[in-house]
């Protein structure tokens, strides 16, 4: 059996402190998946989603694709690789072309969640830092982040803002650095969790993981630096120490978000409590990071009894059943 692993080209025009760790992480994820596929006894070839992808995939003629590509196709609101694979009639893991784009765009994600009454922090989209209009139902402190990008890209200590002036400054910096609009949302100061899901209709829930506020900081959140550069300072607890009621509420929200965004096969849903311990969906990760001993999704899978190669096999089996 031949499997193709497809990933997006890595953007290399980020500032140097960001570029190297970001590239290293994405390379490690791709290598980890490819190695696991080969360990399972399958042939694997890694392709980048470039303009000649169609020719390369057609020539390789894979039996299945492990897709990690959600690059927008000519800004049409559909992802290039899933659209190509659907046209070629090749089976693949993960969401379809339209849902890839929605899940990757934090503004589209939150807009859809709100339309379905799935709790997510109040937010506004900002393309011009001089034209920020904070709505009446939003109060400082607020949190600023780019609308796309994994690994907490663009998120650092200064992203929590307490005044209009600081909000404008952070928005301007992020818009200029990452060449995209940003989201300004309410900051929830409760505990932060992530829920891993495997499967379809309905998905299976992995043990919930909590990101521990080890510094006891009233405004704790995970930054690019803490995750990608100083990962030794990241503390996790899996399974999370929560009540059965809290667990059920988070699972219910995660499954609703998974379904709403059209996630398929596997995904990770990030949630956070407000001060009343009510969970809200922060983000939906349709392509969560997959690295043995490193990523949150892998940690949750291991806690459920799945080794990394077994996790990759499980995702392939789950996806194949859809076809």
Q: Where in the chain is the domain with CATH 3.40.50.20?
A: 2-94
Cα dist. 206→118, 138, 249, 291 in Å? 21, 33, 14, 16
pTM over 0.85: yes
* Residue range(s) of every CATH 3.30.470.20 domain in the chain: 103-119+188-322
Q: Is the alpha carbon torsion for 224, 226, 231, 236 positive or negative? A: negative
| Fold annotation for 103-119+188-322 | D-amino Acid Aminotransferase; Chain A, domain 1 (3.30.470)
What phi and psi values does residue 65 have, to the nearest 5 degrees?
-120, 130
Q: pLDDT tens-digit profile of 240-270?
A: 999 999 999 999 999 999 999 999 999 999 9
Ranges for all domains in the chain classified under CATH 3.30.1490:
123-186
Backbone φ and ψ for 85, nearest 5 degrees, come out as: -65, -40
Q: What is the pLDDT of residue 156?
A: 77
Ranges assigned E (strand) in the chain: 2-7, 43-48, 64-68, 123-126, 142-146, 160-161, 182-186, 192-198, 204-205, 209-211, 236-237, 266-273, 279-285
Is the domain 123-186 a CATH 3.40.50 member? no
Give pLDDT tens digits for 41-50: 999 999 999 9
Phi, psi of 282 (to 5 degrees): -85, -50
Residues 60, 92: contact at Cβ < 8 Å?
A: no
Please give the pLDDT value at position 196.
98
The position carrying tokens 């920020």 is 132
Under CATH, what is the fold of the domain 2-94? Rossmann fold (3.40.50)
CA triple 214-216-220, angle to 5 deg = 85
Which pLDDT belongs to residue 157? Answer: 80
Give the span between the Cα atoms of 295 and 70, in whole angstroms.
20
pLDDT in tens, 137-165: 899 999 999 998 776 676 778 889 999 99
């Amino acid at each position: 059996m031949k499997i193709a692993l497809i990933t997006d080209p890595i953007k290399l025009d980020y500032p140097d402190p960001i570029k190297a760790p970001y590239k290293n992480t994405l390379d490690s994820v791709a290598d980890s998946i490819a190695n696991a596929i080969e360990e399972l006894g399958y042939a694997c070839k890694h392709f980048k989603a470039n303009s000649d992808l169609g020719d390369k995939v057609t020539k390789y003629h894979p039996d299945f694709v492990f897709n990690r590509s959600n690059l927008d196709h000519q800004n049409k609101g559909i992802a290039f690789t899933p659209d190509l694979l659907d046209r070629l009639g090749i089976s693949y893991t993960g969401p379809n072309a339209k849902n890839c784009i929605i899940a990757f765009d934090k503004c589209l994600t939150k807009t859809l969640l709100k339309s379905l009454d799935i709790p997510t922090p109040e937010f506004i989209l900002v393309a011009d830092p001089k034209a920020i209009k904070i709505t009446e139902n939003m109060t400082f402190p607020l949190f600023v982040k780019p609308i796309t990008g994994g690994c907490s890209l663009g998120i650092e200590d200064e992203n929590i803002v307490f005044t209009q002036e600081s909000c404008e400054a952070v928005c301007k910096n992020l818009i200029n650095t990452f060449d995209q609009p940003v989201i300004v949302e309410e900051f929830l100061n409760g505990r932060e969790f992530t829920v891993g899901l495997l499967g379809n209709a309905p998905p299976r829930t992995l043990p919930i993981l909590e990101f521990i506020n080890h510094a006891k900081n009233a405004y704790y959140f995970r930054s690019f630096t803490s995750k990608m550069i100083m990962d030794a300072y990241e503390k996790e607890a899996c399974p999370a120490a929560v009540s059965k009621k809290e667990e059920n509420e988070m699972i219910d929200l995660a499954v609703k978000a998974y379904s709403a965004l059209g996630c398929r096969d596997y995904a990770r849903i990030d949630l956070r409590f407000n001060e009343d311990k009510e969970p809200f969906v922060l983000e939906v990760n349709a392509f969560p990071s997959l690295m043995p001993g490193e990523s949150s999704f892998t940690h949750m899978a291991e806690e459920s009894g799945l080794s990394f190669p077994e996790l990759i096999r499980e995702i392939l089996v789950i996806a194949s059943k859809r076809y």
